[in-house]
Amino acid sequence: MSITFIIATYNRESTLKRAIESIISQPGFSDCELIIVDDGSHDRTDQICKEYVRRENIYYIQLPHNRGVGFARNLGVTRATYSWISFIDSDNELSPNTITYFSNIINTKAHIPIHFFPVLAENQKPYSSVSLMMTRAPSPILYVTDYYKGEFHTLTSRYLLTLFPFIETVNGGEGIIWKKIVRHSQKLQYHSHYSLIYCTSSSGRLSDVLVSPTRIAYLHSLDLLTFWPVYLRYAPLRLGSAIVKIVLYLLYFFLTALLHYVWNLRPDTRKKNYLK
């Protein structure tokens, strides 16, 4: 069994080539495939991708307009040939020897449908880590109730990604999909191998809550609606904190909108001074 790597990209010409090279330069890529989904970019993404599609295991899909990262990833999943999928953001890099490590996992632990790997920051320092408990006896309940914290890279069964596709109504929410997969399969595995170099300097990430508080509130609400029975039974404090977060995000949105409205009501003093 081999691996399909999927890059969904949008206007990241400065980092896309680096991301592609980090995958295709690795030993073992000849038995894998790479699908690049251009989500309606307006930069040189098309030119960069066409340099690589001459290879038989690299495929390029160009969307006529921006549909969102969830749609782009789901499209990549439908076009995938192989049974295992790993997603790489176009500003990140696959760590050296990761394909070899992934292949060993598939050969020995294919009965586990989702695997999690810690990531490195650009300065090669750990951006996330795993504990001994997480690697030896990971608990599906602890995962679904957000006991395990941190940014992780995944290797996932394509079949389960077709059952639980990415959210297309709003960008982000990958964690909700991973939690759905774990709740369904009741299996997961953490590994100590750092599989990804994570670009922490990129703008517009969901980890920056000020980018779009309404989007964050929507995702928290969706998470609550999906997993509240699990929270209520196993982690009531998590349920309470989720409700509080949603209220705070909505309050932030309301106050921001109110301030914007009041600001627009202010008289244009510059215009008055000019008329004088």
Q: For the chain, which ranges sit under pLDDT 50? A: 204, 206-210, 269-271, 274-276
**pLDDT for 104:** 96
**pLDDT for 142:** 95
DSSP assignment string, the chain: --EEEEEEESS-HHHHHHHHHHHHTSTTGGGSEEEEEE-S--STHHHHHHTTTTSTTEEEEE-SS---HHHHHHHHHHH--SSEEEE--TT-EEPTTHHHHHHHHHHH-TTS-EEEEEEEETTSSBSS---HHHHHS--HHHHHTT-S-S-EEEEEEHHHHHHSPPP-SSS--HHHHHHHHHHHH---EE-SS--EEE-TT-SS-TT-TTS-HHHHHHHHHHHHHHHHHHHHHH-HHHHHHHHHHHHHHHHHHHHHHHHHHHHHHS--HHHHHHH-
Question: How does pLDDT run across 136-154, given as a tens digit for each residue?
Answer: 889 999 999 999 988 999 9
**pLDDT for 259:** 86
**pLDDT for 257:** 81
**pLDDT for 209:** 44
- Could you tell me the pTM of the whole model? 0.88
**pLDDT for 83:** 97
Question: How does pLDDT run across 159-192, given as a tens digit for each residue?
Answer: 999 999 999 999 899 999 999 999 999 999 999 9
**pLDDT for 274:** 45
**pLDDT for 185:** 97
**pLDDT for 34:** 98
